[in-house]
Structure 1
């Protein structure tokens, strides 16, 4: 587990996002410092420079989308909708599936950037809860007491 995820306290940061009235530079920097694994490894590449420019310009929704693109390459925005004063954002690994089959991660907030970043943090929590090996799993060896036997009689 990386140092960033060890010090990552999802409930408190998630609560801060839900209770925030507007996105701020310190909040965005905290999210990047605590919840990102790839950005430190990328260094000052063109993609991280773009994220920095978006933060400097306070283009929060674009910065949130750029952060998701860098940090969650297997996830895509499935839906962004505005309904009754709130933005609803859904992220999915299988965007082409019908809604009822997809296990999308959804979040909502009155501010678009905060809705996007809330969904981002939910995916991060899911990723830390579900540890997947980097190699495929191998089926265990068969039990020596239970061996398959051919039952067909060709007589």
Structure 2
């Protein structure tokens, strides 16, 4: 697991988003702190400064989209729909595929920014799971009685 994801706790972050009434600065900063790999590495660039200005202006949906653009360059918004009081947002790597072929990740909430960030957190959680090897990369300790022998006498 990468260093950035050692403190990543998807269920608690997902629960916080699901239970939030609306987006707040502390919630947005918690998402950046716990779910973002690239943001801390970029330092103060124009893109990170733009994101911080959007957060300061409380432009939550724009900030969520800017964060996704920064953190998930291969993912795109496939669908944003409002139905029966909830926003439904789908993120996809292959948005040109038909719906039935695409493996989109969806998030929903009454607040657009939280719906977008719910899908974002799900994608980041899936990425953290994929990046973790199923078998540890630890070499076994060599046997102290084992000594390699060269046998070059073919005659």
TM-score, normalised with respect to structure 2: 0.83
Q: Equivalents in 1 of 2:5, 2:61: separation in Å? A: 23
- Any gaps of 5 or more consecutive residues in structure 1? 134-155
* RMSD, aligned α-carbons: 1.2
Q: How many Å apart are 1:63 and its aligned residue? A: 0.2
- Give the secondary-structure state (helix, strand or coil) at the position aligned to 1:108: strand
Cα deviation 1:64-105 (Å, max 9, x = unaligned)? 000000000010000000000000000000010000000000
1:120 aligns with 2:120: yes
Aligned residues: 133
- Any gaps of 5 or more consecutive residues in structure 2? 134-155
Q: Equivalents in 2 of 1:3, 1:58: separation in Å? A: 30
Q: How many Å apart are 1:3 and its aligned residue? A: 2.8
Q: Equivalents in 2 of 1:88, 1:46: separation in Å? A: 30
Q: How many Å apart are 1:4 and its aligned residue? A: 2.7
Q: Determine which structure has greater relative contact order: mean sequence separation of CA pairs < 8 Å that are 6+ residues apart, divided by chain length.
A: 2
1:4-153 alignment to 2 at 5 Å?
Answer: 4-131=4-131
TM-score, normalised with respect to structure 1: 0.83
Q: Equivalents in 2 of 1:124, 1:108: separation in Å? A: 16
Moved over 4 A (4+): none
- Give the secondary-structure state (helix, strand or coil) at the position aligned to 1:32: helix
Q: Equivalents in 2 of 1:98, 1:74: separation in Å? A: 18
Cα deviation 1:130-152 (Å, max 9, x = unaligned)? 1289xxxxxxxxxxxxxxxxxxx
Cα deviation 1:108-140 (Å, max 9, x = unaligned)? 00000000000000001110111289xxxxxxx
Cα deviation 1:7-31 (Å, max 9, x = unaligned)? 0110001001000000000000000
